[in-house]
Structure 1
Amino acid sequence: MIIDKEKAKHRAAGLDLFRVVAAIMVLLFHCNIHHESSFGPLTGFVSMSAIFMTGFFMLSGFVLFRTYRERELFQKDALKNFYLKRIFGIFPLYLFVAVLYVVTLGQESMFQNLVLLPIELLGLQSVFSTLFPVSHNGGTWFISCLLFAYLAFPLMQEVVKQWGTRAKIVAIGLSLFILFWSPLVVHTFSTDSIYSNPFFRGLEFFIGVVLASLSVNVKWFATWKAFVVEAVLLVAGVSIAVRLNLFVGNYMLYDWIAVPLFGCMALTLAGLKSPHLQNSSVLRYASAASYAFFLAQTFNTDIENWLFAACGIQNNVLQITVSIALCSLIAVALHEFVEKPCARMLKKKLSKLS
């Protein structure tokens, strides 16, 4: 997405790593569900790595608060600039991908696409849970959820900044209760999935905001050892639950382990001092192109199905390698030819307003 001076000032390379890993894990999840790719002893974990979307929403709230914690967004042109940055950072690439998908891969009729058009343009598709498998929404639903979270962020920030530590802990506890309990309601009464529901994804985003507002000054917490322990606990917890066949496929029910550990990872990586990460141009680029990488997956499966059949690719490792390479190639093209030009346009517009 757009990289500006504000983001650079508050940039933590560890969080860049978090973002890149989340994007890759979602791709590996797609490899597993669409091509039954095997990852050895990690296959069970990868089969549930859609939980990394939870990490993505938490990270979005966490990073946004760190970026704007010293700003008063309700002052003068600050609010307008905030929303302009979000619009220019999300909509151009999203609309490009949406149109490209409809033209090349869409199965809907012209009438259906016209009916969907206002909903897609306004980013309201996540409000309709049954639209998830329609058109490109299986790959772009998260943008709709993110738009709602961004819309509410200025108010979230102002409220959270006025809270004391106790109020923040209570807010996190209540949010966790809702996130942990709601999937049980879905499971018990077989209601519509809440996987792409903007309210629940907004709660994950909100937890990230509150976590970023807390001061954690424990040195041993912001270390590679702490991160490794958190990662091992995440993999082990999910793998054991999958082996025991506990709610497999109900990704939101795995928030019971995903949210606490992703929260710990965010705090750890935000405070991690690593010159190797900080100076890595590859990591910076991969993080900047991560949004494009998520959207590239909208096309990946269809292209892979054709490519694997045309070239007779059946080897498991080769299929995974091709999938990663293909998605990376598409992401780079989207980032270079759509995202970057739009970022330059935004910079010019904001310079005229200032």
Structure 2
Amino acid sequence: MDKRLYEIDLYRFIASVMVLIFHYTFVGYMLGYAPDIRFDGIGEYSRYFYLGINFFFIISGFVILMSAKDGEPGKFFVSRFIRLYPAYWVGVILTGSCILYFNQSQFQASSAEIAANATMFQAAMGIKPIESAYWTLWIEMQFYLVMFALAWFGWLRFILPLIGLSLLVCTFSLFTNWGQAFDLWTNAFPHWWGYFATGCLLYLIRRDGLDLLKSSMLVLALVFVVCQNWLFTNMMEGWYGTTFNEFVIIGLNLLFLGLMLFSTLANQHPLRNARFVAWGALTYPLYLIHQNIGYMLFNAYGQHINKYLMLVVTASLMLAVAYAIHRLVERPLAPWLKKHLTAWLQDKKARESRGKGELEPQ
């Protein structure tokens, strides 16, 4: 049951395009990032495309648990570092360069802030991200750190009860004062942690099969998704000063969960095609570079170009840059980094073993 589910690469790509359209056709003018270009007709529908973020978190839970193994935190660290940082550093350079070049009032950052963003831990340092979309990376990083710790201590064998506990606590916490006191833009708990747990649960169903316990936990995951979306919808109506249909949001979530569950249970799938790997590879670099750079381009050139043409050209440009980052940065650097980071870890482990032997009584 370890065959790659290629359709998940397609789901990731669709989710990333959803987020791009949400930002360009709704958030930009609603929050004043690109106030002169309005897409009211499209925005009526694209306002719901933020759900691509929720879908990302579920897919992350599925994929990360699949890659994590008890007693192998070093391999997990290497795989995550290679996956995250090369493209991210390029994204920071590109976004920082655009901030300095366009010098727009909505997008300002000092050299120190740009440098701090290169760590991906800027939120932990209380420094604003230079790209609005980076907030999700810190949420993801918290999940990775927890998974790293579980692998380090050999506790991944307890992952099923931990998933159940996470879903219960997150669902309950959504409606408590102390749970709502957590900043949902910098803390994975409680708004986002349940999505990671749901993805982990789906992976265990894929690996071990669906039984009564996992079926019950799947119902609990569904309850979390409904509750989180209901609460989050009310929050968004306050932020954007407009209405959202809770039932449309819940329906889209149920559709995605249904697609993921079908992929989890199906031995064969009509979309399980290796060509989607190339699509999925664009997802991360596209997410890293699209938002604020896109807004800056809208502000700089949107007055001189038809807005729909501007939308298509900007989205196409972001896809082309994402492809370039993947082909020219990620693919060449991945084997080199894996070789050297693995060698460094092995050398470090050997030195620790020798040091331990020297301390033992002869």
**TM-score w.r.t. length of structure 1:** 0.70
Amino acid at match of 1:326: L
For the pair 1:341 / 2:332, whether they are aligned, the reply is: yes
Q: 1:184 to 1:36 in 2, by over 3 A?
A: farther
Aligned CA distance change for structure 1 residues 126 and 206 (closer, same or farther; 3 Å): farther
Deviation at 1:273, TM superposition (A): 4.9
Task: Measure, in 2, the Cα distance between the counterparts of 1:182 and 1:26.
Answer: 30
Unpaired runs of 5+ residues, structure 1, are: 1-7, 187-191, 219-229
Contact 2:66 2:203 in 1 (8 A): yes
Structure 1 distance, partners of 2:95, 2:145, is: 26
Q: Distance in 1 between matches of 2:296 and 2:108?
A: 19
Change in 2 beyond 3 A, CA 1:143/1:116: same
What SS does the corresponding residue of 1:91 show, helix, strand or coil? helix
CA RMSD of aligned residues (A): 4.0
Please point out which of 315, 323, 326 is paired with 1:332: 323
Structure 2: 5+ residue stretches without partners? 29-36, 212-221, 347-362
Query: Closer, same or farther in 2 for the Cα pair 1:279/1:247, shift >3 Å?
Result: closer
1:34-53 alignment, distance < 5 Å: 34=28, 35-38=37-40, 43-53=43-53
Normalised TM-score (structure 2): 0.68
Q: Are 1:309 and 2:303 matched, yes or no?
A: yes
Contact 2:78 2:342 in 1 (8 A): no
Partner of 1:294: 287
Partner residue of 1:222?
none
Name the larger-Rg structure.
2
Aligned to 1:5: none
Q: Deviations over 1:20-61 (max 9, x none)?
A: 111011001012222432455xx4442132232122112101
Q: Deviations over 1:185-204 (max 9, x none)?
A: 46xxxxx8523434443443
CA distance in 1, matches of 2:311, 2:122: 30
Q: Distance in 2 between matches of 1:261 and 1:196?
A: 28
SS at match of 2:303: helix
Cα separation, 1, equivalents of 2:11 and 2:147: 21
Q: How does 1:1-354 map to 2 (within 5 A)?
A: 9-31=2-24, 32-34=26-28, 35-38=37-40, 43-68=43-68, 71-72=69-70, 74=71, 78-106=72-100, 112-114=110-112, 117=115, 119-127=116-124, 131-132=127-128, 134-136=129-131, 138-156=132-150, 159=155, 161-162=157-158, 168-179=163-174, 185=180, 194-200=184-190, 201-214=192-205, 215-217=208-210, 247-248=236-237, 257=250, 262-273=256-267, 276-281=270-275, 283-298=276-291, 299-310=293-304, 312-315=305-308, 318-349=309-340, 352=343
Q: Deviations over 1:135-172 (max 9, x none)?
A: 23x1322222222221211344654532666x744432
Match of 1:226 in 2: none
Report percent identity of matched pairs: 20
SS of residue matched to 2:86: helix
Three-state SS of the structure 2 residue aligned to 1:278 is coil
What number of residue pairs does the alignment pair up?
Answer: 304
